[in-house]
Structure 1
């Protein structure tokens, strides 16, 4: 037999009415009419008061708790923290507090699962990236040991390829160490007054050979002629600019152009590096700053690089209290932007 709110209210009302009449029978001068009126009144009042208390204050809130549990099962975390503070009903406050607590823990669990997945992917990527140059160099060296060393032409060719593979491995390890140090905060930024326009022109000179090979023009646009002073670590900000400009050259079109813009406002310099290449598909934009993430793995590897450049860029700019953003349109090109503190 289910105990509904009405049935419980009926039992308690009968009990209260009976107890009231029992006490009144011991009082002198009480007539049967008075007992009848008191009995009916106490029954009716007790019934509705108990029904209200059970129905509204208990059963209804318990049902809401069950609804909350169903919400949590389907991961519907739509609740305002303000509603928890404003509620005076202890059952409602308990319900909402449980909801907020479980929702918070569920999000923490989801984040841990995401980090675990990221860790597995990272280990797999590191293993793959290390394996490729090691196996290549190992193959060339073992071929020489097995007798090819006697052929001078083959020996020089294989040693050159082995050296190239080991150079790639060295660059990868250096980038991994740099990224690890940036993430743990071991690398301290030495902020100075830096001329960003001068740094950009130096990078253009360093990358002139690559630009000439792709017949790509390099252009610097500034709001005003002359130095563009920013507060930055000169070595690290040069690493950022080199990576972004080199990527624009590598992944841009033949006979294209790369434009670096330095726009001044009251407190910041807005830096943008734009190419007119094939662009990045929208589904990849949110992940391009992840370690080893490549939009097209085969093409990216053919063009060199460790796959860690943009991850390093992101962490260096974070240390400068700057955020790098990317905008891209298919067949229109890609633009990377960030702000640096301006100095006079």
Structure 2
């Protein structure tokens, strides 16, 4: 509602009240009209000055400030710049305040979430580094002893080497994630046969699968040439990490299935195991760095806790998606998409091996 309309309605109400009171005592219409006219004029002027000077002008400043702050300007610029104010700023201010409050609440929630994530990340990072460092420190102190048996010294050196290697892998994985997040690792996008790559990865991991007493199966129904556009080396790493994860958490004498589904624009690759599975409450955090669903078992089987985080970053760097389906006690399925090559004879460089 515009200011003048609002002032007129209030002045009209006051004037009518005064006019009717005057008519009640004087019983003459001329006194009613005279008092009504004078009251209307005086009330209109008074109300207009009061509302414009002490209320409406302040609302305009608030509206202007909120509007400019929403545009990302600092406080000084927000107060100094001109901005168009509509004829009905009261409703506009109400709407602006609601939107602004909603945006700020979202920002605050996101900041709290990030703060919690940073706190957990630093705690996990500290723990991951302390474990091998303390082990190395302990073995080195033992090696300083003069009466140490040569065979025992050799065992200690082996353990020192193993923990140093673990630290090296951890630092390397953190560096990879950091570069992927900052897009510092360029993607070498080429056309290649995904089926051949899957077979190569399976062959390279056959020994590890045998040691885990788990069978790797590439379903024959989908064992056909499937051409995609992606970074072949990085997709190899994705497959290695997902299959390795299925071997770590698969059950003995179990099976890991690799399946390829062709869709209209994309290709879906799924790695399925019939292992211990994952509880539903843990699924949203599964791709976070250092997140472990079973901490004690994760320690026993090794790993840095960064494999799935690296997988997620690589897939998203290709502008594709990754998801997980799992049931505790039955197994898990990790699936990710790649861009499909509709015309294998196109001019995109082809890699077959």
TM-score, with length taken from structure 2: 0.75
Q: Specify the SS of the correspondent of 1:286.
A: helix
Matched residue of 2:257: which SS? strand
CA contact (8 A) 1:216 1:256 kept: yes
| CA distance in 1: counterparts of 2:123 and 2:147, whole angstroms | 34
SS state at 2:267 partner:
strand
Partner secondary structure for residue 259 of structure 2: strand
The equivalent residue for 2:29 is 34
Tell me the equivalent position of 2:173: 175
**Residue number in structure 2 paired with 1:134:** 133
Q: What is the CA deviation profile of residues 97-132 of structure 1, one whole-angstrom value per residue up to 9, with x for unaligned ones?
A: 111012101211221222122112211111111111
Aligned to 1:91: 90
Find 1:322's aligned residue among 317, 320, 337. Answer: 320
**Secondary structure at 2:229 match in 1:** strand
Contact 2:241/2:308 (8 A) holds in 1: yes
Q: Distance in 2 between matches of 1:200 and 1:225?
A: 10
Deviation per CA, 1:115-157: give whole Å up to 9, x if none: 12211221111111111111111211220112354x1210121
1:197 deviates by 1.6
2:159 paired residue among 158, 161, 173: 161
Q: Is the 8 A contact 2:222 2:259 kept in 1?
A: no
Question: Which of 282, 288, 304 is residue 280 of structure 2 equivalent to?
Answer: 282
* Partner SS, residue 219 of structure 2: strand
Q: How many residues align?
A: 296
Tell me the residue number matched to 2:302. Answer: 304
Structure 1 counterpart of 2:100: 101
Distance change >3 Å, CA 253–CA 148, structure 1 → 2: farther
Q: Name 2:347's counterpart in structure 1.
A: none
Q: Is the 8 A contact 1:16 1:42 kept in 2?
A: no
| Structure 1 vs Structure 2 CA RMSD | 3.5
* Displacement of 1:168: 0.8
Deviation string, structure 1 residues 70-100 (Cα, Å, up to 9, x no partner): xxxxxxxxxxxxxxxxx99532221111110
- Measure the CA separation in 2 of the matches of 1:90 and 1:222: 68
Q: Is the 8 A contact 1:148 1:155 kept in 2?
A: no
SS at 1:93's partner residue?
A: helix
- Find the residue that maps to 1:327 and give its secondary structure: strand
Structure 2 residues not aligned, in runs of 5+? 1-8, 49-54, 60-85, 345-353
For 1:218 and 1:324, the matched residues in 2 are separated by: 21
Shift of 1:300: 0.7
Q: How does 1:165-204 map to 2 (within 5 A)?
A: 165-204=163-202
User: In the alignment, is the contact (CA less than 8 A) between 2:195 and 2:223 conserved in 1?
Assistant: no
Q: Would you say 1:116 and 2:115 are equivalent positions?
A: yes
CA–CA separation in structure 2 for the residues paired with 1:142 and 1:199: 47
Cα distance, 1:258 vs structure 2: 0.3
Q: State TM-score, norm by structure 1.
A: 0.77
Cα deviation for residue 9 of structure 1 reads 5.8
